[in-house]
């Protein structure tokens, strides 16, 4: 598919202008009510989703959503109201509702708008908008190609459970009584496949997916189907293993979740509530020296890229972990005030958080481990963020002599996140770029693997 970039930009500009008009209308109405401050956030989006199950069309969905949220302040008292109706009367009613709530709310000494000095002054073009004019018939053809490739993979494939393509384009905007008013448009398209395998009465499920801002950069449907089938069939014949303490590799698609626990532990809300095992850890070495983690919010076409955060604060490249040392936290303005620190442009989360990798392939990482467990799937959420204690159900593959020996299931891996972070041995170069946290497969020195 070819894109006319000029037409796309003109269309984006029109969407942005319309959204800014709605935002500014809300802010002006709030000013007329005499509030001390107000902020408005707007999101709109729409697209198409088509799903096939085992060769049969299951659903075609056109989806569209929009929302306008306004927060009004009366001094340190705050009220928030939301609407999905952008008509003048609905906006007026929403603003009035937020103000009424503010007038009766309890004062919070930390409430208020972000300091204007932190607001984004320039909005870079991050190349995020690639509309995909995907018609239902073409979408059905795509998913059926993926479905057929999966079902025809060979022995062990029982059926496809869910093969879906999704096309989406949306806008995010933000405005405040401090004069900030900006919006940007972005797209996100994906193709996924879930396969059920069966052997000797035992069944396994596996999946694969591809996602991109630009539909031209998605993996081919046949490749997605084959990858899902291959991963599923590889799980057949899974065994249980005895309980012992061994090295563990988190495969790249699940390794990002491990780094996600770091993000939770250094996020402002958990820090000011003293609900994190990393309270007061800034400046301390919490990883080995070979581990560095950076945030890069302005990567062109990045799935986590954003010119400003959920409060309009400027986003910028920064180091979160430098040679093992935690260099800062993940803060919006409210948590920053609670901690008496500057905000970090992370209201709403991190943007393209990337862990540095060694020049080491996944196969080399497995050989380096020698004997242990590769985790490919995790279940449950047995994590105590206060203590760092970690325990989750898992499945994957057992490794002997640096080679995959057989699949394993019905196991639990357990440890403590503080210890796990300190004992990361290496990170491979098979970086998974499909999410907001970009990581290769991670080898940990050892975890308790509880089996039979």
Strand 372-383, strand 244-250: pairing: parallel
Q: Cα(54)–Cα(154) distance, rounded to whole angstroms?
A: 15
In the block, residue with structure tokens 């408005």: 40
Determine if the pTM surpasses 0.85. yes
Residue 10: the pLDDT is: 67
- The one-character DSSP state at 115 is P
pLDDT of residue 451: 86
Q: What is the pLDDT of residue 42?
A: 97
Average of per-residue pLDDT values in the chain: 95
pLDDT of residue 1: 42
344-348, long-range: CB within 8 Å, 24+ apart, which pairs? 344/318, 345/118, 345/297, 345/308, 345/309, 345/313, 345/314, 345/315, 345/316, 346/267, 346/309, 347/114, 347/309, 347/310, 347/311, 347/313, 348/309, 348/310
Query: How much is the pLDDT for 201?
Result: 85
State which residues of the chain have pLDDT below 70.
1-10
Close Cβ partners of 389 (under 8 Å, ≥ 6 residues apart) = 383, 414, 416, 417
pLDDT of residue 106: 97
Type and span of the H or E element at 354? strand 353-355
Q: How far apart are CA 452 and CA 441, in angstroms?
A: 26
For 442, phi then psi, to 5°, come to -115, 130
The predicted structure's pLDDT at residue 3:
45
Residue 9, pLDDT score:
60
pLDDT per position as a tens digit, 45-68: 999 999 999 999 999 999 999 999
- Domains identified in the chain and CATH numbers: 5-235 (3.30.2290.10), 238-452 (no CATH)
Instruction: Give the distance between the most distant pair of CA atoms in the chain.
Output: 73
Q: What is the pLDDT of residue 381?
A: 84
pLDDT score for 2? 43
Provide the 3-class DSSP secondary structure of residue 145. helix
What per-residue confidence (pLDDT) applies to 66? 96
Per-residue pLDDT tens over the stretch 64-103: 999 999 999 999 999 999 999 999 999 999 999 999 999 9
Q: What pLDDT is recorded for position 452?
A: 78
């Amino acid at each position: 598919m070819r894109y006319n970039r000029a037409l796309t930009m003109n269309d984006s500009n029109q969407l942005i202008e319309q959204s800014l008009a709605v935002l500014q209308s809300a802010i002006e109405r709030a000013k007329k009510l005499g509030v001390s401050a107000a902020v408005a956030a707007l999101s709109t989006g729409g697209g198409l989703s088509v799903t096939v199950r085992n060769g049969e069309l299951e659903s075609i969905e056109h989806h569209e959503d929009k929302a306008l949220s306004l927060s009004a302040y009366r001094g340190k008292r705050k009220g928030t109201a939301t609407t999905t109706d952008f008509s003048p009367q609905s906006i007026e009613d929403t603003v009035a509702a937020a103000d009424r709530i503010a007038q009766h709310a309890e004062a919070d000494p930390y409430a208020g708008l972000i300091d204007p000095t932190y607001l984004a002054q320039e909005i870079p073009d991050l190349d995020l908008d690639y509309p995909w004019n995907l018609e239902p018939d073409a979408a059905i053809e795509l998913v059926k190609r993926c479905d057929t490739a999966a079902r025809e993979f060979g022995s062990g494939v029982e059926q496809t459970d869910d093969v879906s393509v999704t096309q989406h384009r949306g806008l995010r905007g933000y405005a405040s009584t401090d004069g900030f008013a900006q919006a940007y448009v972005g797209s996100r398209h994906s193709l996924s496949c879930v396969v059920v395998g069966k052997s000797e009465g035992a069944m396994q499920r596996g999946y694969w997916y591809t996602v991109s801002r630009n539909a031209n950069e998605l993996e081919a449907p046949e490749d997605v189907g084959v990858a899902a089938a291959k991963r599923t069939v590889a799980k057949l014949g899974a065994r249980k293993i005895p309980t012992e303490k061994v090295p563990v590799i988190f495969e790249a698609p699940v390794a990002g979740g491990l780094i996600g626990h770091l993000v939770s532990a250094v996020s402002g809300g958990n820090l000011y509530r003293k609900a994190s095992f990393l309270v007061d850890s800034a400046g301390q070495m919490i990883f080995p020296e070979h581990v560095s983690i950076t945030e890069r919010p302005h990567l062109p076409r990045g799935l986590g890229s954003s010119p400003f955060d959920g409060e309009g604060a400027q986003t910028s490249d920064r180091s979160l972990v430098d040679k093992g040392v935690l260099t800062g936290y993940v803060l919006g303005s409210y948590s920053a005030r609670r901690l008496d620190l500057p905000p970090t442009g992370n209201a709403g989360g991190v943007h393209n958080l990337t862990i540095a990798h060694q020049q080491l392939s996944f196969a080399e990482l497995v050989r380096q481990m020698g004997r242990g467990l590769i985790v490919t799937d995790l279940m449950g959420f047995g994590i105590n963020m206060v203590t760092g204690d970690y325990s989750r159900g898992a499945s994957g593959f057992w490794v002997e002599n640096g080679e995959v020996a057989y699949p394993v299931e019905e196991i639990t891996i357990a440890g403590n996140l503080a210890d796990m972070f300190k004992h990361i041995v290496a990170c491979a170069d098979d970086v998974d770029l499909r999410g907001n946290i970009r990581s290769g497969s991670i080898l940990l020195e050892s975890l308790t693997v509880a089996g039979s």
